[in-house]
Amino acid sequence: MNIIESIFLGVIQGLTEFLPISSTGHLTLAGKLMKLISDTHPEQWTAFIAVIQLGTMIAVFVYFWNDLISIVKDFIWQSLIKRKSFAEQNINSKLGWYLIIGTIPVVIVGLGFKNIIEGAITKNLFVISSSLIVLAIFLAAAEKISSFNKKIENIKWYDALLIGIAQCLALIPGSSRSGTTITAALLLGFERETAAKFSFLLSLPAVLGSGLLELYESLKFIDSSITINLILATIISAAVGYLSIEFLLKYLRKHTTYVFVYYRITIGLLILALILFGVITK
């Protein structure tokens, strides 16, 4: 992997991590086209993706810094020090609990199926294209039936749990973490912007944890020739990711998610066509 390729992959990660179009799917497609994914050691590509995802998590930390400080401060004060009953806690403290509840499912599933997630099947472009199309259908359905009347202060523990369960589907490549969680939130009746914001906050514990774990486990694959490229890709993904968050939240205030539905179906069909005509292998 050269400098240009690492910059390109960093841009793709930053652009696609927060839009509901699957960063893993786009990175894997790019990796296949650029001949960067090893069939004998697919775990190296998984490690690379997990590490540059840390860049987009930095973007979440920076963008939502004030929100995160308020959540952590109020959670510690009202849940651990002052010890108010849950009903008496403010929305920031409750969000702390909801983020914990929403993270539990993906931790259980992620650790339980770790070997499968890191295996060759999760780099399979047929799986990715199918997931892109199937999730597009669910997202379109969510747009049709959602009431769009619930705000962040209306969230309940079962909403967080259901959205957290939906986040587990993001372990299937092509599904998209933001895509699955935003779709679930819309189905539960949340406003589009609120759905996206909670999706981004919920991504922090899971992606940060998996990224740090993969970073530790991938140290044996990282030598001096790839370290600079990996750092560069991570920095680029952070900068582009910040702009992507800002764009999506502003976009969803006035627009539907149908543009992402159409895009997912288009790119899914394009991948199938590339496989069919032998341009790339599954």
pLDDT in tens, 128-144: 999 999 999 999 999 99
The answer to whether 122 and 116 have CB atoms below 8 angstroms apart is yes
Segment 142-156, tens digit of pLDDT: 999 999 999 999 999
DSSP state of 154: G
**CB atoms inside a 10 Å sphere around CB 223:** 8
**Angle, alpha carbons 119-17-160 (nearest 5°):** 90
- Element at 54 (helix H, strand E): helix 43-63
pLDDT value at residue 171: 87
Give me the half-sphere count of Cα atoms (radius 13 Å) on the Cβ side of residue 171. 22
* pLDDT recorded at residue 21: 95
pTM score: 0.91
Assess whether pLDDT exceeds 90 at residue 206. Answer: no
Give the pLDDT score at 225.
Answer: 65
CA distances from 208 to 74, 262, 272 (A): 22, 30, 32
CA-based nearest residue to 142, from 103, 200, 201, 191: 191
What's the pLDDT at 269?
96
Residues in the chain: 282
Residue-wise pLDDT for 51-81, tens only, equals 788 899 999 999 999 999 999 999 999 999 9
* Average pLDDT value over all residues in the chain: 89
Share of residues in the chain with pLDDT > 70 (%): 89
Distance CA 139, CA 137 (A): 5
pLDDT at 120: 56
Q: What percent of the chain lies above the pLDDT cut of 90?
A: 66
